Amino acid sequence: MPILLGSIADDYTGASDLANTLTKNGLATVQTIGIPDPSLALPDVDAVVVSLKIRSVAADEAVDAATKAEEWLRGRGAGHVLYKICSTFDCTDQGNIGPVTEALCQAAGGATVLVTPAFPETGRTVYLGHLFVAGQPLNESPLKDHPLNPMHDANLVRVMARQSRGAVGLIDLATVTAGPSAVKARLDALRAAGVSAAIADAIFERDLETLGEVALQTPVSTGASGLGLGLARALARSGRASSAGAGTTDAMRPVGGLAAIVAGSCSAATLRQLDIAEQSMPVLRLDPEKLLAGSDEIAAAISWAGERISTGPVVVAASASPEVVSRLQARHGREASGHAIESATATIASELVARGVRRLVVAGGETSGAAVDRLAIPAFLIGPEIAPGVPVLRTIGNPQGDMLLALKSGNFGGDDFFTAALAMMR
Ligand SMILES: Nc1ncnc2c1ncn2[C@@H]1O[C@H](COP(=O)(O)OP(=O)(O)O)[C@@H](O)[C@H]1O
Ligand SMILES: O=C(O)[C@@H](O)C(=O)COP(=O)(O)O
């Protein structure tokens, strides 16, 4: 069956967030890790989300991987491809939102690309091109302290222009409120003026429904789960979607086995969730300096977890406050610290799976990418939602056998997320 909607996600937590939104809004969806091997049996679905780990790599590498994924999705019938970015517009002045958006647009024959990270359900809104995170301008939100891509400018037209070759325009709220024809007319006018991408305002889900309807008439769009909601609802309204939530029942079958949580996110929400988890389960706080010094800290963590895991879930966390992260980065460099810690948490996750863990929660986008790659999991069915943006995932074609995972975006989830997740993963 040809797919209706294709998506390329720039990280794995973002991919599961989008797959959750598409499923909830009427599209049977599967999440793949990279372009799947032809031998992998995937269910018949309306939408495929190809997860890539390209948010923090060099722009040319990101463009190359995204272009190949676009080709693969078009080959499976996708009429529209959504480039799934973070709802907090995580990027640097070098990219990768601008370069990838422009490359995908070119591959699809042009047209001005509609871009919006709005995701009202998690408090991300865009007004006059400025992104607000739970009511705070992006540059005043906790994203100003992100370990890999600190965000210092809430004006997305400016942010996107710094990393794009073409001009960047705005579709303001007045136009969005006027409905799909007004948005389409504005997009056409921007295209005639040679503008390659347009940041669209959106505050409420109804704005995203308008934007989704217009985006669907174009080959490519760029956005977060909010735009996914708009696209999915437009497809469902058109009567083309097969059925809501296919895969969810299968995804809920219990897997048993041991349970663990591995955290590498330093986001404010994850730091709070770790404090709360400490009240109900053993939590090991890794020493980042020791992690960078060699493998002893990893071995000690595996042995600590091994002694406790048969009696209940354990948490292993590299996560630290912005001050601790800054000190480490000042000594070892931003990228080197991030990558070394991702590699360490991935090793810990895979060693825990080797010791019988079949229910695994990973906190952090890059952290999840490194762990899922290390486990060589090829794809996921989408299960029930634990918190907005975070579903239970069930592995497809996993070399370790069936597992349930939750890949939690650093900033998502309530304070009791970890216990809530494990309660749903049986
Ligand atoms: N104590 C620490 N010091 C510095 N960097 C850290 C520390 N703990 C984790 N990191 C790194 O911070 C980054 C967090 O990014 P990510 O996993 O995407 O989380 P989020 O979802 O919150 O963005 C990763 O590269 C991770 O390895
Ligand atoms: O759109 C979002 O906010 C998330 O889906 C997302 O992309 C999360 O990225 P991380 O915070 O790096 O996990």
The residue to mutate among 85, 116, 409, 417, having the most atoms of ligand 2 within 8 angstroms of its beta carbon, is: 409
389 touches ligand 1 (CB under 6 Å): no
How many whole angstroms separate alpha carbon 306 and alpha carbon 165?
52
Could you give the ipTM of this predicted complex?
Answer: 0.99
CA atoms within 13 A on the CB side of 409: 29
The yes or no reply on domain 5-243 and CATH 3.40.50.10840 is yes
The answer to whether the beta carbons of residues 30 and 379 sit under 8 Å apart is yes
- For 312-356, what is each residue's pLDDT tens digit? 999 999 999 999 999 999 999 999 999 999 999 999 999 999 999
319 touches ligand 1 (CB under 6 Å): yes
Q: For residue 240, what are its two tokens?
A: 């083309």
How many whole angstroms separate alpha carbon 179 and alpha carbon 103?
28
The residue to mutate among 85, 341, 412, having the most atoms of ligand 1 within 8 angstroms of its beta carbon, is: 341
Contacts within 8 Å (CB) and 24+ apart, 325-328: 325/145, 325/147, 325/266, 328/288, 328/289, 328/292
Q: What is the reported pLDDT for 242? A: 80
Secondary structure in 3-state letters for 290-322: HHHHCCHHHHHHHHHHHHHHHHCCEEEECCCCH
The answer to whether the beta carbons of residues 159 and 153 sit under 8 Å apart is yes
Q: What is the reported pLDDT for 342? A: 97
Considering only CA atoms, which of 263, 267, 375 is closest in space to residue 316?
Answer: 263
How many whole angstroms separate alpha carbon 242 and alpha carbon 10?
26
Q: What is the DSSP letter of 223?
A: E
Q: What is the reported pLDDT for 247? A: 53
Q: For residue 60, what are its two tokens?
A: 């040319």
Fold of 253-424: Molybdenum Cofactor Biosythetic Enzyme; Chain A (3.40.980)
The residue to mutate among 151, 411, 417, having the most atoms of ligand 2 within 8 angstroms of its beta carbon, is: 411
Q: What is the DSSP letter of 275?
A: H
Whether residue 151 is predicted with pLDDT greater than 80 in this model: the reply is yes
Whether residue 131 is predicted with pLDDT greater than 80 in this model: the reply is yes
> 208 in the Ramachandran plot: left (φ > 0), alpha (ψ -120 to 50) or beta?
alpha
What are the Cα distances from residue 87, in Å, to 72, 84, 90, 139? 25, 9, 8, 14
Q: Whose CA is nearest to atom 9 of ligand 1?
A: 264
User: What is the C-alpha radius of gyration for the chain, rounded to an integer number of angstroms?
Assistant: 20
Whether residue 157 is predicted with pLDDT greater than 70 in this model: the reply is yes
What are the domain boundaries of the chain? 5-243, 253-424
Q: For residue 400, what are its two tokens?
A: 């370790």
Q: How far apart are the first and last CA of the chain?
A: 32
- For 164-199, what is each residue's pLDDT tens digit? 999 999 999 999 999 999 999 999 999 999 999 999
Among 48-62, 238-252, 382-396, the minimum mean pLDDT is found in 238-252
Whether residue 245 is predicted with pLDDT greater than 70 in this model: the reply is no
Nearest ligand 1 atom to the CA of 267 is 22
Whether residue 304 is predicted with pLDDT greater than 60 in this model: the reply is yes
The model scores a pTM over 0.90 = yes
